[in-house]
Amino acid sequence: MKLTQNARFSTVCLHAGQEPDPTTGAIITPIYQTSTYVQEELGRHKGFEYARTQNPTRAALEGNLAAIEGGKAAVAFASGMAAINAITSLLKSGDHVVMSDNVYGGTFRLFDKVLSRYQLSFSSVDTADLDATERAFTASTRMLFVETPSNPVMRITDLAAAADLAHSRGARLVVDNTFASPVLQRPLSLGADLVTHSTTKYLNGHSDSIGGVVVAQHEDDIEWLRFVQNAAGAILSPFDSWLVLRGTKTLPIRMAQHSATGLALAELLEPHPKVRKVYYPGLPSHPQRALAARQMSGFGGMLAFDLGSRDAAARLLKSVRLLALAESLGGVESLISHPATMTHASVPEEHRHALGITDGLVRISAGLEDVEDLKEDLNRALAAV
C-alpha cells in the first residue's frame, strides 16, 4: 500500500501519513499510548525519546493533514484555540495584527483579553472589503488573520487578493479554514502562509474529540511551531490523533453530503415567511456567491438565518427535535445554536450587532441525517414560531 505521486484527493485523505504498522501489519495506525520510549543505550534510540516531543500516532496525523491541505508540514495541538495561540507566538511584542471582524468568538477573546496584555495590538475589520483591510494595516502589521466563510454570517474574503496584500506589506496571511475544510478550500494554494483548523469540527467530524492543527509552508515557521508545540506542551493526545485520522478517511464524502444538505436547508428557509434573511454562500442571493464559487469547490454545511427577535429564535430552538441545540459544528449530527448567547457571547453587544449577529440569528451545522427528516423538523419548529 503506497501512495503514488499523483494520487487523487480522496486517496490522499485515506492514506497519506500512514503505513501498515511495521511490527504487526495492522492496517490502522495504532494508538501509541505511552509517555516515554526505552533507549537501547546512551544516545541510541529509535527517534522517540519522550511523548510530548514525539508520538507516532500524532506524527501520522500530522503527515496526513499536511498532505490534505497541500502544506509542507502540520503541527497538531490540544484544541483549535491552542493551535491559534501557537500561531500568535510567531509574533513579537509591538507587532500588530489585522483580523476578520467576525472570527470565532474565542479567537477574538484570545486577542482582546490575553494577547493585548503582551504588547500585541490588533484591528478587527471586514476582510471581505479589501480597501478597508488595507487601511487597517500599520507599519507594525505582521499578520493578516482571516476566517472565510466567516462565522456565523458567512462573509467571504478573497484569499488570493488577501495574500497579495499581506505580502506586499511584509505580513503573513493566516487562514482559519475550519468552516470550509480542505475539501472545499485550499488557502495555501491561493497564497496563504499558514492554515489552521479546529480539528474538533469537520476534520474529526464525529463530535467526539477536541483538537487543532497548523499547516505551514515555510521552513522557519515549521521549525518554530514544532519548537513551541514541545516547549509550551499543548499537544494533541494519541487517542485524539487516532480519532482525527479516522475522520479524514471519510472527509470528502462527508463534505459532499454536508454541502448538499446545507444548500437544501438554505433553500427551504429563504422563502419561508417567518425568516427575514438567510446567510449561505451557495444561494444566488448571497452577495459574494461568485467569489465563493471561484475559490471554493462547494459551499459547505454551515448556514445562519434571522428570525427577527430573540423570542422567535428561542421558540424555534425549543421546538426542534432532531436538530440538537448545542455549540460546535462539523459533526455527523445536525446542530442548531444561538450565536449571540452561545458561540459569540464574548463579543461585545455593539460589535455583535454591527456584524449582523442579532438576537434573532440562528446557526445550523447541517449533519448527515436524511435531509427530508431535517426539513420536516425545521418546518414543524417554524410553525411554532
Ligand X SMILES: Cc1ncc(COP(=O)(O)O)c(C=O)c1O
Q: Which cell numbers in the block locate residue 32?
A: 501509541
| Annotated catalytic residue within 95, 101, 158, 176 | 176
In terms of CB distance, is 268 or 325 closer to ligand X?
325
Q: Is 279 a catalytic residue?
A: no
In terms of CB distance, is 91 or 385 closer to ligand X?
91
Q: Which residue is nearest to ligand X (CB)?
A: 80
Residues facing residue 142 across a β-bridge: none
In terms of CB distance, is 198 or 259 closer to ligand X?
198
Q: Is 104 a catalytic residue?
A: yes
Residue 105 Cβ vs ligand X, minimum distance, rounded to whole Å: 8
Residue 107 Cβ vs ligand X, minimum distance, rounded to whole Å: 6
| Annotated catalytic residue within 104, 202, 279, 280 | 104
Report the C-alpha gap between 93 and 13 in whole angstroms.
38
Residue 244 Cβ vs ligand X, minimum distance, rounded to whole Å: 11
* Sign of the dihedral defined by the CA atoms of residues 336, 342, 347, 348, in that order: positive
Q: Which cell numbers in the block locate residue 136?
A: 487597517
In terms of CB distance, is 18 or 150 closer to ligand X?
150
| Annotated catalytic residue within 142, 186, 201, 363 | 201
Residue 199 Cβ vs ligand X, minimum distance, rounded to whole Å: 7
Q: Is 375 a catalytic residue?
A: no
Residue 318 Cβ vs ligand X, minimum distance, rounded to whole Å: 23
Report the C-alpha gap between 90 and 225 in whole angstroms.
8
Q: Which residues bind ligand X (CB under 6 A)?
A: 79-81, 104, 106, 147, 151, 176, 178-179, 198, 200, 210, 212, 328
In terms of CB distance, is 297 or 346 closer to ligand X?
346
Q: Is 176 a catalytic residue?
A: yes
Positions marked active-site? 52, 104, 176, 201
